[in-house]
Structures are given as C-alpha cells and as structure tokens.
Amino acid sequence: MTSFSVEPAEALRGRLANALRESDGLGRLSTARLAALLSEGIHQAALGGIVLFSPEAATTPATIAGGFAVMLLPYSIVGPFAAAALDRWDRRVVVAVAALVRTLTIVATIVLIAAGAVRSGGGLAALFGLSLVAIGLGRLINTGMTAAMPRVVPDRILAATNSVLVTVGSVVTAVGAVAAFAVLAVLGAGDAAVSWTLVPAVITAMVGVWAVLALPARHLGPDDGEPGTRPDIAVTRDSVRLFAGGLAEGVRAARSTALVWVALAGVTLARAAFGITTMLAILLLRDVEAIGGGGPVVAGMGGFGLLSAAVAGGMGLAAVAAPWAIARTRRILVVAAGSAVSAAAQLAVGPTLNPTALIVGAVALGLGAQVVKLVADNAMQTDVPDARRGGVFALQDALFNSAFVVGMIAVLPFVPADGRSVALMVVPAALYAAAVVLAVVVSTRSGADTDRPGGH
C-alpha cells in the first residue's frame, strides 16, 4: 500500500514547482488533461444550448433528464471496457486514440449542426449518437489521466498536486461551459451559433492529443510486470469478457478499504443531490426568463452560466480547503465535513426558490462536493494498487455520472413544470446528510488506523 502524506501549506508552492521542473511528464499530462476538459466543457454547453435552451425547445423535466442522460451516461456503458484497457494496455496509447476519435466526432457534430439536420427527428438522433461517443470518450480520457497521476507525481505531494489539478480541471471545464453559454446567450442557440461555438472544442481537443503523444511509451503505466497487466492481449472473446469485468474489478478494489467505499458513497449521494437541484434550477431559470422576473442576467441560459461559474468558484476553494483538512484530521472525517457543508447550503438557500440565492449557495455546494471528490481521488490513488487503479476510477466515473441522472429521474413524477417545489429542494439536503451519517458511523466503527492526519 502506498504511503500517504500532505505537505505543509508554506512548502506547497515550492514542492509543486519542483515537481514540474523534475518531471516533463507532469507538465505534459496536465496540459493534455486540462485541454481535454476545456474542450469537454465547451462541447457540453453547446449541447445544452441545443437540447435545453434553444428557442425551439419546450423544456420539460423529462426533456432535461433525457438531455443529461445523453451527456453523462455514455461512460457508464464504456466504463467496464475502459477499466480493463487502462489497467492492461499502455495508458498513453489508450488515451491518445480516444482523444483523436473524440476530436473527429466533434467535427462531425459541427457539420451536422451547421447543415441544420438536428431539427429533424433523424438528425437529432444522430446528434445524440455522436454525443454519446464524444462524451463517453471524454470520460475515458479523464479516467486514464487521473489513474496515471501517481506515475508522474512524488508520493509526498500527491494529495496536494491532485487537489490542485482535479479542481483546476473542474474549474477549466466550467470556464469552457460558461464561455460557451455566454456566447450562446448573446447570439442565441441557433444552428450557426452552436456550430461556431464548437470550433474551440476541436482546437483544444487537438492540443490534448499532441500533449499526450509527447509522453514516452509506458510513461503513464501500467508496468509490464505488474500483476494483472497484459499489454499485448488479443481482441478475442476472452478479452471481451475481461473488458466486461472491468467495473466488477473496480468494485472489488473499492471494497478493500473503508475509506475508499465511504468516499465513493459520498460522491454518489452528492451527485444524485446535485442532479435534483440542477433540474429544479433549470426550470426556475426558464420560468423567470419567461415571466421577465429576476433581471436579465439571473434567468435562462445566462443564469445557468452564472450557476456553473458559482459551482466552479466553490471547487476552486476546495483546492485549498481539502489538503489543509486532510493534513489535520482523518480523511473519512473530511468526507463528513464536506457533505455537511453541502447539506447546510442546500437547506439555507434551496427552499427560497430564488434564482439569485441558488447561485450564491452554489458556491458552497461546489466547495463541499469537491472536497468529498478530492478525498475519494486521493484515497484511490494512495490505497489502491496501480494494477487495479484504472478499474476503481472507472467505477467512480460511472457512479458520478449515473447518480446525477438517477437523481433527476427519481423525482420526475413530482417535479412541477416551473420547478417551484420547496419539498423537492429539501431532498438533496437529506442525501448530503446521509453521507455525513455514513462517514461518521464508519469512522467510529471501522477502527481504520491507516487513515490518520497527514499520513498512514
């Protein structure tokens, strides 16, 4: 089991700078990761413009859930294959091929939208199909690069570096989405505007392909000699069965330590909660825009852009808060604290049904949820062997995306068309509170001596 420690705050900047100087791999991996995430943010926002906020869209709760299902569930399908591939083949090759195919898929999406084909039934189905491929590959790329982090970062600064890069990545994704939403809010969500908005997504995706190909072979792992690694596996029925068992392997790896599965449970509950809040917020913002209330900014697509920016701001705060907290208390208690922050924010602003209050509260929601996510990432990077790490990260991504959509679907029978439901705004707070209780109970019962402040 890999040792774990967190650098003192005053030494963090110097350690990160040294890590970048000592390893070309970290700089190139970070470039590839951030370029891919910026492209993903732009791409998803453009799709949101078509599905959720276009002038022709009559957005209903079912439409919202369906749109997010298309954008987020693909990885739950390719996750088992990704897990096995990332733990058995050269991760650099897997990520590079996935990034190149994703780039070509976005180009095809631009052509389809520019031709006006998405307004027909068959064209919309084709758009959804391309989106399934592009977003599924995007999650594979991010999983591969997250699993490879311990290969390019010294153990002593892994938690701090990961906190910075994961959070910066989330912020970069949000920046791409906010920029795209801003453009579409000004130009409208018409075909020409959406297709031009997607062009930067292609450019940044190609930067990611270049950066990952600049890394040496096998630099991202896994090692040839690691247990379970088969870099030259043939594409046979046996290999397909091996791929299909990828998530099952991730489940087995996650169950090996209480901290990992509790953190994953916290991430899952938080995403289900945020799925409910997001659906209600979109309906509220559309309703405010329709009736002309709330001002020209906190409404419609502009309001959703502000909501995304607020969540990103909270995630940025988590990059500082998570390493500080991990250094001072058990990581399982940091999961409880992050979940408690989200629960308190949801209870404070959710029942007001005020779009401006929701945007302000989204800062705290982003902070709490990202702290839990950073603990989960750190636990999987330090407590799970490299040969099984791809599987457990694939499991997390599958849970991360599917829980968001499941949260939306679960409340569909109860959601009013204008999103104004105080009762439903309280449900996410209960989910966050459940994560707090779970972490505290397991912390007191597990006797996990390996989960101590600053190391184990």
CATH number of the domain to which 157 belongs: 1.20.1250.20
Give me 113's structure tokens. 């939208």
Query: pLDDT tens for residues 410-446?
Result: 999 999 988 899 999 999 999 999 999 999 998 887 6
Around 288, how many Cα atoms within 13 Å sit in the side-chain half-sphere? 24
Report residue 241's pLDDT band, with 50, 70 and 90 as the boundaries.
Answer: low
Asked if residues 407 and 276 have their Cβ atoms less than 8 Å apart, the reply is yes
Question: Sign of the C-alpha dihedral, residues 24, 25, 26, 27?
Answer: positive
What whole-number percentage of the chain has pLDDT above 90?
Answer: 25
Q: Cis bond leading into 150, ω under 30°?
A: no
Whether 292 maps to a domain, the answer reads yes
Does position 290 have pLDDT exceeding 90, yes or no?
A: no
| Cα atoms in the Cβ-side hemisphere of radius 13 Å centred on 188 | 6
Residue 247: the pLDDT is: 58
pLDDT at 454 over 60: no
- Mean pLDDT, to the nearest integer, of 245-271? 79
Among the residue ranges 131-145, 197-211, 306-320, the one predicted with the least confidence is 131-145
Which of the residue ranges 78-92, 231-245, 278-292 would you say has the lowest mean pLDDT? Answer: 231-245
- Tokens 């999987």 -> residue: 380
Mean pLDDT computed over 328-333:
89
* Domain assignment present for 177: yes
Q: Which of 228, 232, 231, 206 is nearest to 220 (CA)?
A: 231
Work out the average pLDDT over 18-22.
Answer: 56
Task: Give the mean pLDDT of 376-399.
Answer: 77
pLDDT class for 338, splitting at 50, 70, 90? very high
Indicate whether 230 belongs to any domain.
Answer: no
The structure tokens listed for 79 are 């996750």
DSSP type of residue 452: B
* Average predicted confidence (pLDDT) for the chain: 78
Region 190-218: mean pLDDT is 86
Q: Which pLDDT score is estimated for 228?
A: 45
Q: Is 449 helix (H, G, I), strand (E, B) or coil?
A: coil
Is 387 contained in some domain? yes
Average pLDDT value for residue range 229-244: 45
Is residue 235 one of the residues assigned to a domain?
Answer: no
3-state DSSP of 3-69: CCECCCHHHHHHHHHHHHHHCHHHHHHHHHHHHHHHHHHHHHHHHHHHHCCCCCCCCCHHHHHHHHH
Among 130, 119, 135, which Cα is nearest to 56's? 119
CA–CA gap between residue 427 and residue 96 (Å, rounded): 41
Distances 177 to 34, 273, 285 between C-alpha atoms, Å:
13, 21, 17
The two three-digit tokens of residue 256, written as one number: 């090996």
Residue 264 falls inside a structural domain: yes
Select the more confidently predicted residue: 55 or 91: 91
For 228-299, strand residue ranges (E) read none
Q: Report residue 106 as tokens.
A: 């976005």
Task: Determine what percent of the chain is predicted with pLDDT higher than 70.
Answer: 73
Tokens of 416: 């009013």
Asked whether 83 and 192 are in contact (CB, 8 A), the reply is no
- What count of Cα atoms within 13 Å lies in the side-chain half-sphere of residue 36? 34
Name, in order, each residue with C-beta under 8 angstroms of 420's C-beta and a sequence gap of 6 or more.
284, 287, 353
CA distance 344 to 192: 42
Closest by CA to 150, choosing from 254, 211, 250, 222, is 222
Q: Give tens-digit pLDDT for 56-100.
A: 555 678 878 877 777 777 656 665 566 667 777 888 888 888 899
Q: Is residue 236 part of a domain?
A: no
pLDDT at 229: 44
Q: Judge whether residue 284 has pLDDT over 90.
A: no
Q: Is residue 228 part of a domain?
A: no
List the single range of 6-15, 88-97, 328-337 with lowest mean pLDDT. Answer: 6-15
- The pLDDT of residue 5 is 38
What pLDDT score was predicted for residue 334? 94
- Structural domain total, the chain: 1
What is the per-residue pLDDT for 350?
92
Contact (Cβ atoms closer than 8 angstroms) between residue 176 and residue 37: yes
Identify the domain containing residue 44 by its residue range: 20-221+246-446
Q: What is the pLDDT of residue 453?
A: 59
Under 8 Å between Cβ of 284 and 358: yes
Is the pLDDT assigned to residue 293 strictly greater than 80?
Answer: no
User: Which among 311, 312, 338, 340 is positioned nearest to 326, based on CA atoms?
Assistant: 338
Q: 5 forms bridges with which residues in the sheet? A: 455
pLDDT value at residue 395: 79
List the one residue out of 144, 145, 189, 141 whose CA is nearest residue 40: 141
Statement: residue 221 has pLDDT above 90: no
- Say yes or no to pLDDT of 455 above 50: no
